[in-house]
Every structure is written in structure tokens, then in C-alpha cells.
Amino acid sequence: MRTKIKALPWQELLLPLAAVVLALLIGSVFILYVGENPLTAYGILFKESLGSVRNIATTLQRATPLMFTGMAVAFAFRAGLFNIGAEGQLYIGAFAAAWVGFTFANLPRIIHLPLAIVAGMAGGALWASIAGVLKAKLGVHEVINTIMLNFIALFLTDWLVTGPFHGGSWVPETARISASAALSRIYPPTRLTTAVYLAVVAAAAVYLILWKTKRGYELRAVGLNPSAAEYGGINVARNTIIAMAISGALAGLAGTEQILGLHNRFILRFSSDLGFMGVAVALLGKNHPVGVILAAILFGALQAGSAAMDRLTAVPRELITIIQALIIFFVAAEYLIRRMLRLKEDA
């Protein structure tokens, strides 16, 4: 581990910004390729995502699950863990929340909704803890295990939703959750719900845990240098399990939000890579809660505007997926951008 010289704040912002600009530039090559004008396409994208209060609400709605998965990945990163399993944790959390939602139909809202949310967090935490325990006790790297757990969670929920908990309709989905467990919409007709407040609370909690508690100090110490932390009397194994559990709980909240706020039932494979996009959001947000919120809003905006771009131009909406992938490339290749911008290397 090299010593890091603290970079200036403007540089911290400049790198993600450069990554986004580069990705949009390469994206415009794709737009030109299909015979459209990049300015027109990006103009529509911008207008449809941020051009009115209603569009901004849609953007925030699309950003909300990414705030949670981004926070999940970022939290683990801070503790030196690469949680690429947010997708699986999200599914387990979502199913747990849905189960509470449709099973305890007679509970008063004040109990039912929090209970469903806690169940979603617990589901995600439990699933992530499997990888945490295997890392802490047996030293198995969490990357492979969380990837494997993604697929196990996927097939497990596939089975639950087509088998024992099939709702009876012709589509693979569970019964509807009762209204007492559903999150309230805050800007109809958009589907933005109170989950966005929950995301802000979660971001504040992540900040407080990581930077204002002894536990957070330990987690970050383990993240920076596990052997030094161990030498300094910090229990690395214990902190690894705790970090994975908290990360998983955050991913579980993403799934919970999708069920209680958007779908109101568990639908087979409802997540379109929300967990994997969390990796992008975390990296772009520099693994900081505020950065994660901003990065999630950017990704949410791209998604919110993509439908109109698809409808009004010849550019397929998958351009957005390509741009999101390109952003990950460039954020990951910090070394490349630092050289392009002739910034001092902090290594």
C-alpha cells in the first residue's frame, strides 16, 4: 500500500466528471453511427430527465434503487471488500419484504411497513453475511463468492415465485402486498415514493457510521490496511462480517424499495442489473455517500430520458447501458484520466 497524498477537492470532482464526459463523447460515436445528431439525442435525454419537476421526479425515482446499491458497494469498498453481490442481496431482501407484505395483511401500517423494510434489510444482510463469514473464517475471497451467491439468489427466488409463492396469475409473480406495507407516492403521477427520503437517511447513516463512530474507524482501518489494523488490536474477521452485513442490508433496501414502492409484489427477475450498476455508482461517487447520491441521480437521469430518446430518434435506448458501462471503464482507469489531464498521480 502506497502512502496517499490527499488530493485537492476539485481533483476529486474532476476525475468522475472527466469519465462522464469521455463516456458521452464515445456515446456520440454510436449516435452518429445510427445516423442521428448527438446534440439532438443528448438534448432529448437532458430535457426528458431534468427539464421539468415531473421529469426530475421520474429521474429521482429511477435513481432511488441505485442510491441503495451504490451505497452498499461503497460501504463494502470502504472496509476493503468488493461486494459484487448486491444483485443477489437485493433479490433476497426484496423477497423477504414482499413476503412480509403479503403475509401479515392485517397489521396496522405503522407496524407493517417498518416490519417489511426491516425484513428486506435482514434478508440482504443475511445473504451478504454468507460471503462475509466465509472470508472472515476461511479466507475465501468475497468476489467469487458474491458472484456465485448472485446466481443462487436468482434461482432461489425464481423457484419461490414460480413454485411455493406463486400468486396464481399467469405471470410468475407473488400475491400483491397489502396496502399497509406499500410506500407512499410523493409526486403522482410519477412513481417517486418516500423511499427517496429513506435513501437520504441511509446516506446520512452511512456517513455517521463510517466517519463518526469507533466501529466506522475500525472498518476503514481494515479497509486501508488489514494487517496494520490487526496489529493495532482491531478484530479484522469481526469487522469483515459486520461490513458485509451492513452492505447487504443496504442492497436489501434497494430490493425492498422496488417491491414496496414500485411493483407491490415480487416479480420474477425484476431487477435489470440494479446491483451491478451499484458498482458503477459507487465508483463514480468515490465511495462517499454524497458522491453516491449524485452518481445515482446521473444514472437515474440517463435511464429516465432514454425512453423518449428511443421514441423520438433512431437511437436505441440501450445506448444508455453502453454509456453507463463506458463510465465504469473510465472511472476504473483513473490512471489513464490522470495522465490525460496531466494531474499528479496520488500514488
Site track for other proteins across 91-130, x = CB under 8 A: ----------------------------------------
User: Which CB sits closer to other proteins, 50 or 333?
Assistant: 333
Whether the CB-CB separation of 274 and 65 falls below 8 Å is answered with yes
Q: Which of 16, 30, 262, 274 is in the footprint of other proteins by CB under 8 A? A: 30
User: Which CB sits closer to other proteins, 16 or 216?
Assistant: 16
Is residue 273 a contact point for other proteins (CB under 8 A)? Answer: yes
Contact window for other proteins (CB under 8 A) among 89-97, 234-242, 269-277, 291-299: 269-277
Is residue 336 a contact point for other proteins (CB under 8 A)? Answer: yes
3-state SS record for the chain: CCCCCCCCHHHHHHHHHHHHHHHHHHHHHHHHHCCCCHHHHHHHHHHHHHCCHHHHHHHHHHHHHHHHHHHHHHHHHHCCCCCCCHHHHHHHHHHHHHHHHHHCCCCCHHHHHHHHHHHHHHHHHHHHHHHHHHHHHHCCCHHHHHHHHHHHHHHHHHHHHHCCCCCCCCCCECCCCCHHHCCCECCCCCCCECHHHHHHHHHHHHHHHHHHCHHHHHHHHHHHCHHHHHHCCCCHHHHHHHHHHHHHHHHHHHHHHHHHHHHCCCECCCCCCHHHHHHHHHHHCCCCHHHHHHHHHHHHHHHHHHHHHHHHCCCCCCHHHHHHHHHHHHHHCHHHHHHHCCCCCCC
User: Which CB sits closer to other proteins, 95 or 181?
Assistant: 95
Is residue 197 a contact point for other proteins (CB under 8 A)? Answer: no
Number of residues that bind other proteins (CB under 8 A): 46
Is residue 303 a contact point for other proteins (CB under 8 A)? Answer: no
Q: Which of 15, 18, 125, 134 is in the footprint of other proteins by CB under 8 A? A: 134
Is residue 138 a contact point for other proteins (CB under 8 A)? Answer: yes
Is residue 314 a contact point for other proteins (CB under 8 A)? Answer: yes
Is residue 171 a contact point for other proteins (CB under 8 A)? Answer: no
Closest approach of other proteins to the CB of residue 253, in Å: 21
Is residue 149 a contact point for other proteins (CB under 8 A)? Answer: yes
Site track for other proteins across 70-89, x = CB under 8 A: ------------x-x-----
Whether the CB-CB separation of 278 and 284 falls below 8 Å is answered with no
> What are the cell numbers at 187?
409526486
CA distance readout (Å), 167 to 160, 175, 265, 271, 272: 10, 4, 9, 19, 22
Is residue 237 a contact point for other proteins (CB under 8 A)? Answer: no
User: Which CB sits closer to other proteins, 38 or 316?
Assistant: 316
Rounded CA-CA distance 88/69 in Å is 11
Q: Which of 13, 25, 39, 140 is in the footprint of other proteins by CB under 8 A? A: 140
User: Which CB sits closer to other proteins, 198 or 327?
Assistant: 327
Closest approach of other proteins to the CB of residue 157, in Å: 9
Q: Which of 145, 258, 303, 313 is in the footprint of other proteins by CB under 8 A? A: 145
- The residues that touch other proteins, with contacts defined as CB under 8 A, are 30, 34, 82, 84, 134, 138, 140-141, 143-145, 147-149, 151-152, 155-156, 158-159, 162-163, 273, 276-277, 279-280, 283, 314, 316, 318-322, 324-326, 328-329, 331-336
